[in-house]
Amino acid sequence: MEKNNKRVAIITGSANGIGKSIAEKFINQNMIVILVDLDEKNLKKTILEIDPLKQNTISAKLDISSEQDIEQLKSIVEKKFGYLDILVNNAGIAPNRLIEDQNLDEWEKVIKVNLTGTFLCSKMAVGIMKEKKNKMKYILNITSISGSVGSVGRSAYGVSKAGIIQLTKQMAVEFAEYNILVNSISPGPVNTKLTKNSDEATKSYISRIPLKRFTEKKSIASAATFLTSEECDFITGHTLNIDGGFLAGGINFPKKDLK
């Protein structure tokens, strides 16, 4: 077992996109990061970019929806460190499908990766985290505004993300006695490969966002850094919307009509 006093974090889905950006931020905060992803090629590429000397990262090519793979992750943490400070449940898949065209296999896969994967990783993490009762530990889930509103083609994805919002509250209540704070971030559209839509879809999205733009990965990573820092010591069970005002919005009366 390695002896060090650095904070140890697991980030799922960190070979790409938002998870990669959070991993980079955590490395800059002097943490050890275990990057979990199925995408081996980009796992290697990401580690070369964010930790070229491989001193503060471990890569784990694993499927978060497989109980067996998560057992493997548990033994990596136990053997290497014996403790865990942070879990970020970020990995997710997001196929767009109308309910009438949705086949059962795809429905079940989305729920299994997004929701069951979050459950499996969190269940594994609590088993390790609860050993250090006096230290503050953090679980942060990445959900989505699609978990709070209905959108065309977002049934399986939206239901999985709504489940994560509820699971966040459940875990906050059950894990409080171990000093584990559990929160979620609910992003609106972030510039990643998940949001490469048609111009028409992008225009429709932007028309509903009071700030009239998508955001960048770093704004999610900054909030993730705060919600897993020791400065965050009394927030638990909360879902933070980072959506340019999307969920605050309603009918957009043109200001000129109000005169």
State in angstroms the smallest separation of the CB of 192 from ligand NAD: 3
Instruction: Name the residue type at position 86.
Output: I
Q: Please list every residue from 190 through 209 that binds ligand NAD, using CB under 6 A.
A: 190, 192-195
- Please check whether residue 22 is in contact with residue 10, taking contact to mean a CB–CB distance below 8 angstroms: no
Contacts of 65 (CB under 8 A, 6+ apart): 112, 113, 116, 117, 120
DSSP code for 97: B
- Residue 145 CA to residue 166 CA, distance in Å, equals 13
Task: Exactly one of 83, 138, 157, 205 is catalytic; name it.
Answer: 157
**Nearer CB in complex with ligand NAD: 110/126:** 110
State in angstroms the smallest separation of the CB of 191 from ligand NAD: 7
State in angstroms the smallest separation of the CB of 198 from ligand NAD: 15
- Residue 218 CA to residue 30 CA, distance in Å, equals 17
Among 37, 77, 156, 167, binds ligand NAD (CB under 6 A): 37
Structure tokens at 230: 């020791």
State in angstroms the smallest separation of the CB of 177 from ligand NAD: 28
Q: Please list every residue from 111 through 170 that binds ligand NAD, using CB under 6 A.
A: 113, 117, 142, 144
- Residue 16 CA to residue 8 CA, distance in Å, equals 20
User: Is 157 considered catalytic here?
Assistant: yes
Q: Please list every residue from 64 through 93 that binds ligand NAD, using CB under 6 A.
A: 64-65, 90-93
CA angle 247, 253, 257 (to 5 degrees): 165
Catalytic residues: 157
What is the contact surface with ligand NAD in residues (CB under 6 A)?
Answer: 12-13, 15-19, 36-39, 63-65, 90-94, 113, 117, 142, 144, 187, 189-190, 192-195
